Amino acid sequence: MKDLSDYRKSYEKNELIEANLPEDPITLFQKWFYEIDGTTSDEANAMTVSTIGLDGFPKSRVVLLKRFNEEGFVFYTNYNSEKGKAIAANPHICLSFFWQAHERQVIIKGLAEKLAANLSDGYFESRPEGSKLGAIVSNQSEVIESRTFLETRLKELEHEFENKEIPRPSYWGGFIVKPVSVEFWQGRPNRLHDRIRYQMEDNFTWKIDRLSP
């Protein structure tokens, strides 16, 4: 077994101090996001979505953030997938971003709600045809017999919808995650990292705390 105990890195690129904090976490998230997005060829919108499954186990997977604003964070999925069923049973979920090049993390706790159908329609219409058909082909999270099964079904649908509009399946759409807690993590030397947490108060203002690393 490989020993990883000597894998260490000193984080020294940035700092996160109270004097520079905005009153709400979305403003800070936007600042960080565009700083990352402007300096990397990777997908800055890649995030980990963690849910509690129907089997009682937590599960995390990487999806792509498609929109964010003061209301929350939006992603799209198959509502009948393992992820979709988990959210339907327990909408308390966690989103996390790790931007290694900038030594930053963001951890968001929130409640997930289905996006309005017209908004899901609008996004689906903007997708390339292959992605639209892929959403129809895939019974996400279900066991399938082979890769060939998917490719054959895709060819069938390509023929079926040739020169036709591809409708959004009713089982595919967006979730918006409305945050109740947003934690910003900035790597610092000697493992004394900066951790700033925004928590939603009963009066819908944000309480800001510094957490011990």
- Residues designated as active site: 191
**C-alpha–C-alpha distance, residues 157 and 132, integer Å:** 10
Pairing of strands 72-78, 172-186: antiparallel
Place of tokens 């203002």: 205
- Of the candidates 93, 95, 160, the residue with the CA atom closest to the CA atom of residue 132: 160
8 Å CB contact between 15 and 194: yes
**What is the rounded distance in angstroms from the CA atom of residue 63 to the CA atom of residue 56?**
21
HSE (CB half, 13 Å, CA atoms) of 74? 14
Neighbours of 185 (CB within 10 A): 22
Q: How far is residue 189 CA from its own chain's centroid?
A: 28
